């Protein structure tokens, strides 16, 4: 384990950590004791309805530093339709309690769920912002084989978003969080062969965040150019590939619209900031 461990957390993800068997949960936490001093702390993800004073006091003893809640939506109709088992009120209550105890708060949302709309997803982002989390994750819904969601899709009750629609929506939501100084630490699901093979509607993309960031820049560029056709766009050096777009898609789109654009870098610009000259 290298020096960077001090900047990292031990993580328990992929389930609802505080909802598993209590003895098993404690055994996992106990297993971190020989290594915990080498790390920043422990990060867990769990359900909003499995947080209370007792569990938060217990987690403190094991140096848990960050708790992420799988909120998914702040619309009770959407939560019920997707059998989430918790309410928007549970998310609010747990979030406030987590912050009261001094933990870093993370909130996870899913866009394009059954019964959701762009409006309900945007509202979820707004309500997340009101809770002032330290970080968020955004996961567009992917329909997997042999699931209830696939059955709803097959019988026409559920219409999943296209990749383009998901990109457009998530790009807007990303900017909402960015403009409110909330760190977006993940957009889109981690790649796996199983995910790729079992994606029913083929709207999963392994570089989904990059597509969203490309969309953010394209919109900013178009807004900045207005009727001007020949301009130079300055962006932060670290954002150049995002501004150009994946496979230079933004350049191609601008050319198709009649623009003659050059890209240059400027270290003084912020992450998503552009300057048109």
29, pLDDT greater than 90 = yes
What CATH homologous superfamily does 3-206 map to?
pyruvate-formate lyase- activating enzyme (3.80.30.10)
- Tokens standing for residue 266: 């400027």
Give the per-residue pLDDT at 57. 98
Sign of the Cα pseudo-torsion (261, 265, 269, 271, in order) = positive
CA–CA separation, 37 and 41 (whole Å): 8
Question: pTM score, two decimals?
Answer: 0.93
Instruction: List, for residues 116-150, the tens digit of each pLDDT value.
Output: 999 999 999 999 999 999 999 999 999 999 999 99
Give the per-residue pLDDT at 6. 72
Instruction: List, for residues 145-180, the tens digit of each pLDDT value.
Output: 999 999 999 999 999 999 999 999 999 999 999 999
Give the per-residue pLDDT at 228. 82
Per domain, the residue ranges of the chain are 3-206, 217-276
258, pLDDT greater than 60 = yes
257, pLDDT greater than 70 = yes
Q: Is the CB of residue 200 less than 8 Å from the CB of residue 145?
A: yes
Among 47, 70, 42, which residue's Cα sits nearest to residue 58?
42
Give the per-residue pLDDT at 1. 52
Instruction: List, for residues 80-101, the tens digit of each pLDDT value.
Output: 999 999 999 999 999 999 999 9
β-strands 230-235, 274-276: how paired? antiparallel
Q: Nearest 5°: CA angle at 88, between 141 and 104?
A: 85
């Amino acid at each position: 384990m290298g020096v960077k461990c001090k900047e990292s957390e031990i993580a328990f993800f992929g389930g609802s950590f505080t909802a598993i068997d209590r003895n098993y949960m404690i055994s996992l936490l106990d297993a971190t004791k020989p290594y915990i001093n080498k790390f920043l702390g422990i990060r867990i993800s769990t359900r909003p309805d499995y947080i209370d004073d007792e569990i938060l006091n217990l987690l403190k003893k094991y140096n848990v530093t960050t708790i992420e809640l799988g909120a998914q939506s702040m619309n009770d109709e959407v939560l019920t339709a997707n059998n989430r088992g918790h309410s928007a009120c549970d998310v609010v209550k747990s979030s406030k309690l987590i912050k009261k105890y001094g933990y870093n708060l993370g909130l996870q949302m899913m866009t394009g769920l059954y019964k959701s709309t762009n409006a309900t997803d945007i509202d979820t982002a707004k309500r997340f912002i009101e809770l002032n989390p330290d970080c968020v994750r955004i996961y567009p819904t992917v329909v997997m084989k042999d699931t209830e969601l696939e059955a709803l899709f097959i019988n026409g009750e559920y219409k999943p978003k296209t990749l383009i629609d998901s990109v457009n929506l998530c790009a807007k939501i990303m900017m909402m969080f960015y403009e409110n100084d909330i760190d977006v630490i993940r957009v889109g699901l981690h790649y796996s062969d199983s995910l790729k093979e079992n994606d029913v509607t083929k709207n999963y993309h392994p570089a989904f965040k990059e597509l969203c960031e490309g969309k953010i820049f394209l919109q900013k560029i178009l807004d900045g150019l207005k009727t001007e056709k020949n301009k130079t766009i300055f962006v932060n050096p670290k954002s150049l590939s995002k501004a150009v777009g994946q496979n230079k898609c933004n350049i191609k789109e601008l050319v198709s619209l009649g623009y003659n654009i050059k890209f240059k870098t400027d270290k003084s610009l912020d992450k998503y900031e552009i300057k048109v000259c």
